[in-house]
Amino acid sequence: MSFVQLEQLTKSFERGQVPAVNQLNLQLEKGEIMTLLGPSGCGKTTTLRMIAGFEQPTSGTIKIGGQTVYSSDTSVPPEKRGIGMVFQDYALFPHLNIEKNVMFGLNKWKVRERKKRAREVLELVGLEDYATRFPNELSGGQQQRIALARALAPRPHVVLMDEPFSNLDAGLREKMRYDVTTILRKAETTGVIVTHDQKDAFAVSDRVVVMNEGVIQQVAAPKEMYKCPKNCFVAQFVGKTNLLSGTMCSDLKHVNTHIGKICLPERKDKMIEDVKVSIRPEGCMLADEGRYSGNVEHVTYSGEYQELAVRLKGAEMTNEPMIIYAPIEQDVEVGAVVSFDIKPELVALVD
Ligand SMILES: Nc1ncnc2c1ncn2[C@@H]1O[C@H](COP(=O)(O)OP(=O)(O)OP(=O)(O)O)[C@@H](O)[C@H]1O
Ligand SMILES: [Mg+2]
């Protein structure tokens, strides 16, 4: 049985309005790290707060470690759910030193045990030498690790983190993605992390849950989600993509589009005439005599690659140019004609 189970979880703040979270079903395995990813207002924080017990669901059930913590006739208070929470602003107590901050949730423990556990979790986050400092004497990344240490101290079954990386600059953010997952794995804790940043989500999680308007769009491992987005929303929210309308060929393996025939990664088992395909920019490879060709309308350098907007021959003016990536060492100029091939592995049919 799954370790955390959300069944038909729904939250309506106001009657008659679309629910903030709408019949959400989700299962987490023990030790799994999952992220809730989606645009602002899609219901991520509300979901997290319902799991924690800070928000009362309108309907549905929540089970943690086999115990029902919420249902129509049960409501276990937050402190009895075995949950550790890391808030977006870390919420450290400014007047308590680091050791006391970390011991905060251990008030029922014996003093010696408390000190021992504080030392353990401070070692786990690599800040054992900072026990006597105060929060304002730490950097953002260090404060975040203290907030995580405090959440982990009472040995929770599940750690919930709301936008844990949003207060950090780009460099520190990357380091913290690594640190947070390493720490959670070492502590063997199940984790739910909320973010609106796809890179955060992909870097830290076993599986990603993409939400939109309170509804789950797809649950998948990062690689699978990138290669096989289920619908247009996921394809566009998770990375960049080219979405083309087309009709399926009778071989069920190709799609006719305005730029030509596109090969799918595998043969489909049923005929759907009108379809949409998502083609990742990485799936378009410049080639001397590629199957597709067009004019370069725009070049954007990112440092890691060049993003080309290519207007394909024969495509009507109304169609968007194709976005394709070219290696940084390649000379490509606006106005040039380029030709490319498309790797079927980075093509997906989407709803
Ligand atoms: N206490 C509240 N009362 C009324 N509406 C609320 C309340 N809390 C959240 N909402 C609404 O519920 C929806 C979901 O909000 P939520 O905070 O879960 O979004 P989110 O995905 O965390 O967004 P963000 O990325 O901006 O933090 C929003 O439309 C929000 O306005
Ligand atoms: Mg939020």
Q: Are residues 322 and 277 in the same domain?
A: yes
> Could you tell me the residue range of the domain that residue 37 belongs to?
4-231
Q: Are residues 194 and 211 in the same domain?
A: yes
Q: State the closest ligand 1 atom to the C-alpha of 194, by its place in the atom list counted from 1.
A: 22
Question: What are the tens digits of pLDDT across the range 172-226?
Answer: 888 888 988 998 898 889 999 999 999 999 999 999 999 999 999 999 999 999 9
Contact 197, 230 (CB under 8 A): no
CA gap 193, 184 in Å, rounded? 11
Going from the C-alpha of 319 to that of each of 280, 283, 335, the distances in angstroms are 17, 19, 18
Closest residue by CA, ligand 1 atom 28: 41
Ligand nearest to the CA of 13: 1
Q: How many domains does the chain have?
A: 2
Measured in angstroms, how far is the CA atom of residue 151 from the centroid of ligand 1?
23
Question: What are the tens digits of pLDDT across the range 142-177?
Answer: 998 899 999 999 999 999 999 988 877 888 888 888
Measured in angstroms, how far is the CA atom of residue 44 from the centroid of ligand 1?
8
Work out the number of other CB atoms within 10 angstroms of the CB of residue 272. 11
CA 349 to chain centre: 21
Handedness of CA 328, 345, 234, 249 (dihedral sign): positive
CATH number at residue 273: 2.40.50.140
Q: Are residues 21 and 148 in the same domain?
A: yes
CATH number at residue 217: 3.40.50.300
Q: How far apart are the first and last CA of the chain?
A: 31
Closest residue by CA, ligand 1 atom 19: 41
The confidence score (pLDDT) of residue 113 equals 92
Q: Are residues 197 and 333 in the same domain?
A: no
Mapped onto helix, strand or coil, the DSSP state of residue 218 is: strand
Q: Are residues 280 and 143 in the same domain?
A: no
Mapped onto helix, strand or coil, the DSSP state of residue 18 is: coil
Q: Are residues 182 and 217 in the same domain?
A: yes
Measured in angstroms, how far is the CA atom of residue 138 from the centroid of ligand 2?
25
Q: Are residues 215 and 256 in the same domain?
A: no
Mapped onto helix, strand or coil, the DSSP state of residue 227 is: helix
Q: Is the pLDDT of residue 316 over 60?
A: no
Q: Are residues 159 and 197 in the same domain?
A: yes
Q: Write the DSSP string, 149-200.
A: HHHHTT--SEEEEESTTTTS-HHHHHHHHHHHHHHHHHTT-EEEEEES-HHH
Entry pTM: 0.90
